[in-house]
Structure 1
Amino acid sequence: MAQTKPKRGPLQFLQFGAIGFANAGIDIGTLNLLLIFFHTDERAMLLLFNTIAYSLAVANSYFWNVNITFKRSAKGSNPQRFKFIAQGIVSLGVSNLVFLGFNELLELLGVANWLRYNIAKGLAMFLSFLASFFMVKYFVFKDYGKRFIKEN
């Protein structure tokens, strides 16, 4: 009986994307709630709010991606957790830079606060999502291909 090789690339990307939609809801929802309750235009506070929102989404991402998307290669080991945290910090940096940068640009263009925050957040989420996927796939859970070959 021939064993079929799982579709790692497209299927993983779709699974990661579906989880990403849930994370996006957490991320942008948290940011908007914080802005509703504690409205600010201060860069430091916007950075803090974005960091809180992103961190909640990353925690959700870790849980679901370990249990679904990268289940075969996720060992739950301390080195893997450290790598996941490291990629999360890098992706947070991408998110914060894009969010603040586009917020500034859109402010110069005269875009209203709420709209510019959400446009900047959307771009930040998309670019940090891409960075995160490739870091998780090729850095955090990179041994998937090697383990599959050894198992089969």
Structure 2
Amino acid sequence: MLKRTRTQILQFTSIGVLNAAVDLVVLNILLLIWPTKNNLLLLLFNTISYLACLWNSYYWNSRFTFRNQKQSSTTEKGMFFAQGLVALVISNLVFLAGLSILRSLTFVNLPAYVDNNIAKGLAMFLSSASSFLFMKYIVFKRKK
């Protein structure tokens, strides 16, 4: 059991690196096309990039990390996307909080794209950790 969990964490982390790349590339393309400091637009951009990441995550994690546990049922897919929405809320809250904190630091004046990417990194880390726990213990829970 412990060995399987370690293997799953390694696989999940590897896929997470790919997810992070998808998430960051989509966010930064949107910011390149429409540069903004508007929190509503940034929230929309974060949501779009996260949804692209969510699709990528389901595709790879269901085929590798949790392939022995998946059932490919409508319920399982619904639960996956429900956990994704919870993780999206976590991501958006952390993203906005991170931006707020970074913007309030008067002794550090970073360009907006640096603030955005630092806040995005924090959001990705916390939402990924919650996603792993949701997927392991709820979505792809092994039937006994």
TM-score normalised to the size of structure 2? 0.94
Q: Distance in 2 between matches of 1:137 and 1:143?
A: 8
Of 74, 95, 99, which residue of structure 1 is paired with 2:91? 95
Which of these residues, 48, 51, 54, is aligned with residue 47 of structure 2?
Answer: 51
The answer as to 2:24 corresponding to 1:28 is yes
Structure 1, unmatched stretches of 5+, are 147-152
- Measured after TM superposition, the shift of residue 69 of structure 1 is 0.5
TM-superposed CA distance for 1:143, in Å, is: 1.9
Determine whether 1:116 maps to 2:115: yes
Provide the rounded CA distance (Å) in 2 between the counterparts of 1:40 and 1:112: 11
1:140 equivalenced with 2:139 (yes/no): yes
Look up the match of 1:127.
126
Q: CA deviation at 1:22?
A: 0.2
**Structure 2: unaligned runs, 5 residues or longer:** none
Report the Cα offset of residue 114 of structure 1: 1.1
Task: Please identify runs of 4+ aligned residues in structure 1 that moved more than 4 A.
Answer: none
Letter in 2 for 1:65: N
* Residue 81 of structure 2, aligned match among 65, 78, 85: 85
Q: What count of residue pairs does the alignment treat as equivalent? A: 141
Could you say which residue in structure 1 is the equivalent of 2:3?
7
Q: Which residue identity lines up with residue 129 of structure 1 in the other structure?
A: S
Structure (1 or 2) with the larger CA radius of gyration: 1
Q: 1:72 aligns with which of 68, 73, 97?
A: 68
TM-align CA RMSD: 1.2
Could you tell me how far 1:108 is from its partner in structure 2? 1.0
